Chain A
C-alpha cells in the first residue's frame, strides 16, 4: 500500500463549528505532515510529526490543533476558523531516516470552505 488517504474530500463549516480532518497511511512511515495550500499557490508547511511527537509547528494559529494518535493516523482539529482559512489541506508522510533523503508522499487533500 503506497497511498496516503484523507477524509473528507470536501468540508464546509461555519466559523463556530468544530470539525476534524483525518489522514491515514500504512506505509510504515514515521513522519507525517500537514500543509495548507491556497489556490494557485504552493503548499505551506503547518506541522510535522516525527514518531508521533510534534517536531515542527510553523507558528500556526491555535484554532488549528494537530494530533497524531498512532504512527498511521494524523488528525487536524479545527475550531473557530476564519473565512481566510478556506484552502486545500494536504497531508503527507515519509520515512524518518536520520540520513539523506526521505520522499514525502502526499494525499489528495481536503478542500475546506469556511463560511
Chain B
C-alpha cells in the first residue's frame, strides 16, 4: 500500500523569504503522480503543483517549485518570495495512474504553514 509522510506538522516563514516543505512517500509503482494541495483557512482545497513520476524535470508554477527525487521517494515543495496569502495547510498527495474515477488520492498528514509579516 502507498503511504505519504509529511514530517513537519507546522512551519513558519517571514514574508518574502523562501521555505521548503518536505514529503516522502512509499510505493512499489514505477509510474504515478504526486501533488501539493493548499487549503487556506477558507477551506477550499486548491491544487498547487503536480509532478508525473516519469518526468525527470521538476515541476514549477510561478513561485512554487518541487524537488522530485524518485530514487529517494522524496517530493519537497519550495515556496519563494512567501506572501501572507500563502498561509495555509499544505497536503502532499499521491495517485496511481489507474485511470478513471478509481484514481484515489492518498494524502499526507499536512504541514501548517504560517507566513509572518
Contacts and interface: CB of A to CB of B under 8 A. Distances in A.
A109 B100 contact: no
B68 interface: no
Interface string B10-38: 00000000000000000000000100000
Contacts of B112: 40
A101 B105 contact: no
A96 B101 contact: yes
Given A40-B112, A41-B110, A42-B91, A98 B43 contact: no
Given A88-B43, A97-B99, A104 B89 contact: no
Contacts of A88: 43
B99 A98 contact: yes
Q: Is the interface of A mostly helix, strand, loop or mixed?
A: loop
Top 6 nearest A-B pairs (CB, nearest first) are A42-B107, A31-B101, A106-B45, A50-B101, A99-B99, A98-B99
A81 interface: no
Given A56-B102, A94-B101, A101 B52 contact: yes
Interface of A: 30-31, 33, 40-43, 45, 48-50, 55-56, 88, 90, 92, 94, 96-104, 106-109, 111
A50 to B, nearest CB: 4
A48 B97 CA distance: 17
Q: How large is the interface on B (under 10, 10 to 19, 20 to 34, 35 or more residues)?
A: 20 to 34
Interface in B89-117: 89, 91, 95, 97, 99-105, 107-110, 112
A98 B105 CA distance: 16
Nearest to A97: B99
A96 B44 contact: no
Contact of B45 (A40, A50, A90, A94): A90
A30 to B, nearest CB: 8
B115 to A, nearest CB: 18
Nearest to A49: B101
Contact of A102 (B45, B103, B107): B103
Nearest to A55: B101
Nearest to A9: B43
Nearest to A29: B101
Contacts of B33: 101
